[in-house]
Structure 1
């Protein structure tokens, strides 16, 4: 089972990437093969609806292929002006229902404020459902993310840490159930 995690932050010290990695680790411990796509490192061009998509750089085609071949996803974004980041929206514009249809998605958001990233998570939920994916019902948010993590990458709030770890386990379980692996005893 292959899970692609997309960290939608351009920040070099991204707390979103830290939260995504917690989910990835839990999913890996539950038996998934995980891979991080850190959009800060991918340098995707702006999606511009060009008539010949073959003129996009190879990294766009690689990104699409990885998304198509994945069994499930982890999408993370900091809250920017009540929504998702431009880099994540741009990356998602390169894909469609072909890549996401019928696949499960774990969502996580981070925010500098006390209210968390509720609007970001709602936006990601809508995008996933529009692309015929299945966002998991639990969508944890890390408020005051600039002060939420320990030096080892774990969260200071043990209950939130557990919620985010559980999300990785739930993603693996949902994919297995959907693929009939649990019914077949795998």
Structure 2
């Protein structure tokens, strides 16, 4: 089982990347092969809807290939101005229902504020459903993420840590369930 994880942040000290790492580690321990497609290492150009996709850089072809091969996804974003980050939205603009239809997605958000990333999570949920994916109902958020992590990359709040770990495990279990009961390819 292949899972592709994407953190919608380009920051070197990204709390969104730390959040994805917790979820990915739990999914890996549950038996999945998880690949983080790091948009810092593989930057995508601004999506412009051009007719000839072969004119995009090689990173676009690689990204779309990874998305197509995946059985499920982890998408996480910081909350920027009440919504998802531009870098994640841009990446998702390169794909469509062809890549996401019938696939399960784990969603998580990070925010600088105390309320968390509710708007970001709702936006990602809508995008995934529009592309015919199956977002998991649990969508954890890491509030005040700039001070939420310990030096080892785990969260200070054990309840949120567990929610992220459970999200990774539930993603794997749900993909297994879908593979055993639903034919979508």
| Normalised-by-shorter TM-score class | over 0.9
Partner residue in 2 for 1:144: 144
Counterparts of 2:133 and 2:50, CA distance in 1: 25
Partner residue in 1 for 2:82: 82
Q: Give, in angstroms, the shift of residue 151 of structure 1.
A: 0.4
Counterparts of 1:100 and 1:145, CA distance in 2: 29
Q: Give, in angstroms, the shift of residue 25 of structure 1.
A: 0.3
Q: How does 1:25-174 map to 2 (within 5 A)?
A: 25-174=25-174
SS of match in other structure, 1:77: strand
Counterparts of 1:78 and 1:41, CA distance in 2: 18
Q: Give, in angstroms, the shift of residue 87 of structure 1.
A: 0.5
SS of match in other structure, 1:179: helix
Q: Give, in angstroms, the shift of residue 39 of structure 1.
A: 1.3
SS of match in other structure, 1:65: helix
Counterparts of 1:53 and 1:34, CA distance in 2: 27
Counterparts of 1:24 and 1:106, CA distance in 2: 10
Counterparts of 1:51 and 1:176, CA distance in 2: 36
Q: CA RMSD in A?
A: 0.8
Stretch deviating more after TM superposition (150-159 or 37-46): 37-46
Kindly report structure 1 stretches of 4+ aligned residues shifted beyond 3 Å: none
Counterparts of 1:170 and 1:87, CA distance in 2: 26
Counterparts of 1:113 and 1:42, CA distance in 2: 29
TM-score of the superposed pair, with normalisation by structure 1: 0.96
Long gaps (5+) in structure 2: none
Counterparts of 2:103 and 2:31, CA distance in 1: 17
Partner residue in 2 for 1:184: none
Q: How many residues align?
A: 181
Q: Give, in angstroms, the shift of residue 3 of structure 1.
A: 0.3
TM-score of the superposed pair, with normalisation by structure 2: 0.97
Q: Give, in angstroms, the shift of residue 124 of structure 1.
A: 0.2
Q: Give, in angstroms, the shift of residue 43 of structure 1.
A: 1.3
